[in-house]
Amino acid sequence: MVRTIALLIGAGFVFVLGIALFGTVSTAISDPAPETAEHEFHLHPKDAHLPSAGLVGKFDRQQLQRGLKVYQEVCAACHSLKFVSFRDFEQLGYSEGQVKALAQAWPIEQPSVNPDTGEAATRKNIPSDRVPSPYPNEVAARAANNNALPPDLSLMTKARHDGANYVASLLTGYQNQPAELLRKFPDAKTPTGLHYNPYFANLNIAMPPPLTSDGQVTYDDGTQPTKQQMANDVAAFLTWTAEPNLESRHGAGLATVIFLAIFVFLTIGAYRNVWRGVKH
């Protein structure tokens, strides 16, 4: 009796789900969602061909240093990097002394308190400090950016789909709205204070173009600082900030695959050796 009741309840539940699914599909067919500018003109990020991409990708230390310089001279004026300490930059190939000098020369200092007066003050950065935010709080950040809050970039390439390619494409994707977009969607004109970028989710982004011209940053290694090169370099750097252990993870994954391949080969050999005298 209990089993019969349970079966009836289950059948009723499935029946109700079937009706709901049928209604949803019927509505989608008879009354499809209207086309939107975001759906039609949003672009998938272009492949930046970073060395860290792929199953066995590795970081290019020189590229990471170039990316740090782009962040320092272009991005740090608005975006924080709160999960990264200055001493972490030793992983990019800098010596302890270079990291100390970099921290002290950083344009934004650490908040502090004057021990004599008790008033707010600032001090030079030291290697153990986190990279400081350009704003004291969220209110100040919004006030300086037309009420838009610049996101922290520490984990940006993990927070966005196809993150490294997204960053590189977004930085080089600013353009005028296509005439076709305005013809098909007259109400989709970019609002005042925003900027059209087809790689951004809703096509209009509050951040002005950060990379405005070639040569905006001077590289120490002589690399030509084109806009695309700077975008790729800072995307590589932000890939490292989001996952500094990427190379170790790739190495462990490759070792695991090799181990499993050898294990499978040995298992097949053992199986054939044990059962070779048995007739099927």
Instruction: Establish whether 280 is an annotated binding residue.
Output: no
Asked if residue 239 lies in contact with residue 157, where contact means CB atoms within 8 angstroms, the answer is yes
In the chain, DSSP finds a helix count (H) and a strand count (E) of 10, 6
Contacts of 236 (CB under 8 A, 6+ apart): 48, 50, 51, 52, 59, 60, 63, 64, 67, 164
Q: Which two tokens stand for residue 148?
A: 């838009």
With a CB cutoff of 8 Å and minimum separation 6, the contacts of 74 are 210, 211, 216, 217, 230, 234
Determine if residue 39 is labeled as part of a ligand binding site: no
Would the annotation count 207 as a binding residue?
yes
What are the residues whose beta carbons fall under 8 Å from the beta carbon of 251, sequence distance 6 or more?
none
49 belongs to an annotated ligand binding site: no
Look-up: residue for tokens 């600082």? 225
Closest CA to 202 of 148, 157, 155: 148
Burial state string for 212-232 with b = 16 or more CB within 10 A and e = fewer than 16: eeeeebebeeeeebebebbbb
Give binding residues for heme c as ranges. Answer: 75, 78-79, 207
Give binding residues as ranges. Answer: 75, 78-79, 207
